[in-house]
Amino acid sequence: MTSTTVTRDGAGVATPAPLRPRRRGIGWAQRLEITVLTGPALLMFVGFVIFPVLLAGYYGFYRWKGFGVPTDFVGFDNYVTIVQDALFHEALWHNGQIVVLSLVLQGPIALVLALLLNQRMRGQSIIRVLIFVPYVIAEVIVATAWSLMLQTNGAVNDVLRSVGLDRLAHDWLADPGLAIWTLMLILTWKYVGFAVILFLAGMQNIPDELREAAAVDGASYWQTQRRITLPLLGPTIRIWAFLSIIGALQLFDLVYIIWGQYVASTAGTSTMATYMVSEGRNAGNYGYGNAVAVVLFFISMIIALVYQRFVLRRDALPEGRS
């Protein structure tokens, strides 16, 4: 995100004047204005976002129950424990699955839906509003509703049985082999609308002339979509994928609320974030919890940087803008 936005930053300047039109430096008055304008935001951001991340790096080297000043310095012991803990491996594996499955499930579904809704049709705007509703609802509400509906004798199984699909009725939540797929179902339901909205916005920036020209050349609907819409939608898809990956790595709320206390061990849906909370805060091991936070931070950051370097970089050109 940084790279694209920064280019936007440069490209969006209204007049392409030389970099510094007046090279007489900025006066103290203007410096004061800048300080007054940016100071409060910087202070808050550094204080409550940057500083805690640094603090985690510090606390992560201690065995510490969260009271007083940490004194029991243990070096990299916490990190060694994390790397060796089978529960963490499991959480990491689940996160990996969620990252990949989110992309593989939500991407194509959202594309098909966006193509569908991009057709000329009545009531398009109301449909857009409605498919976005799950995205706006709180995770807690989503979790409450789905965990009630997915109980063995809940609404989902009831509907399946009543239409004669008894064999599809499952113990959706408690079966550890199935739980990750149940989670994916809920995640897809909640977040696919966001992808659809993004893709639709991207599609509507593609000039109609291109499609008309393709039609004149005798291209079929699908050929047009494959050769024109999809390639031009590339930047939007890549940004969406980035957001999806980051979100999947940090997934917490839905898992923690639906599977709650089972998450730690047997439910088959634990994530790094739920591991962090249950092994850190809930167990009272704040030093350890902070070390997990550091690991989560580095994993997210490395993936984000690699993604920006290799995938988003090509969008850092004016053509990536709409």
Partner 1 sequence: MTGKSNGWGNPVVYLAALLLIGVMLGPVVYIILGGFRTNSQITTDPAGLPGPWVTGNYTDVMTSDVFWRQAGNSTVAALATTMGVVALGVMASYALARYRFRGRAAMYALFASGLMFPVTVAITPLYLLVKELGLVNTLPGVILPQIAFGLPTTIIILVPFLRAIPKEIEEAAAIDRCSRLGFFWRMVLPLSVPGLITVGILAFVNSWNSYLLPLFILNEQDGFTLPLGVQAFSSQYSVDTAKVLAFTSLSMIPALIFFSLFERRIVGGLTGAVKG
Scanning residues 136 to 165, which ones bind partner 1 (CB under 8 A)?
136-142, 144-146, 148-149, 153-159, 162
Nearer to partner 1, 35 or 266 (CB): 35
Find where tokens 């199935």 sit. Answer: 178
Nearer to partner 1, 177 or 277 (CB): 277
Of 91-99, 165-173, 175-183, 282-290, which part binds partner 1 (CB under 8 A)? 282-290
- Provide the 3-class DSSP secondary structure of residue 27: coil
Of 1-9, 79-87, 100-108, 173-181, which part binds partner 1 (CB under 8 A)? 1-9
Of 36-44, 75-83, 95-103, 172-180, which part binds partner 1 (CB under 8 A)? 36-44
Question: How far is it, in rounded angstroms, from Cα 92 to Cα 27?
Answer: 52
Residues between 5 and 24 with contacts to partner 1, criterion CB under 8 A: 5-9, 12-15, 20
Residues between 41 and 80 with contacts to partner 1, criterion CB under 8 A: 41-42, 44-45, 47-53, 55-56, 59, 66
Q: Which pair of tokens denotes residue 209?
A: 């002339």
Nearer to partner 1, 110 or 177 (CB): 110
Write the DSSP string, 122-164.
TTHHHHHHHHHHHHHS-HHHHHHHHHHHTSTTSHHHHHHHHTT
- Interface with partner 1 includes 317 (CB under 8 A)? no
Whether residue 316 contacts residue 3, with contact meaning beta carbons closer than 8 Å, is answered with yes
**Helix H segments across the chain?**
2-11, 28-45, 51-59, 77-84, 86-101, 107-117, 124-136, 139-149, 155-162, 176-203, 208-216, 221-224, 230-249, 253-259, 272-276, 286-310
Nearer to partner 1, 86 or 222 (CB): 222
Residues between 204 and 223 with contacts to partner 1, criterion CB under 8 A: 211, 215, 221
Q: Which pair of tokens denotes residue 211?
A: 């499609």
Nearer to partner 1, 177 or 233 (CB): 233
Residues between 223 and 252 with contacts to partner 1, criterion CB under 8 A: 224, 235-236, 239-240, 243, 246-247, 250, 252
- Interface with partner 1 includes 194 (CB under 8 A)? yes
Of 76-84, 85-93, 116-124, 169-177, which part binds partner 1 (CB under 8 A)? 116-124
Nearer to partner 1, 179 or 241 (CB): 241
Nearer to partner 1, 76 or 132 (CB): 132
Closest CA to 105 of 170, 176, 185, 196: 185
In terms of C-beta distances under 8 Å and separation of at least 24 residues, what long-range contacts does 316-320 make, across chains too?
Answer: 316/3, 316/4, 316/7, 317/7, 318/7, 318/11, 320/4, 320/7, 320/235
According to CB under 8 A, which one of 92, 95, 111, 202 is a site residue for partner 1?
A: 202
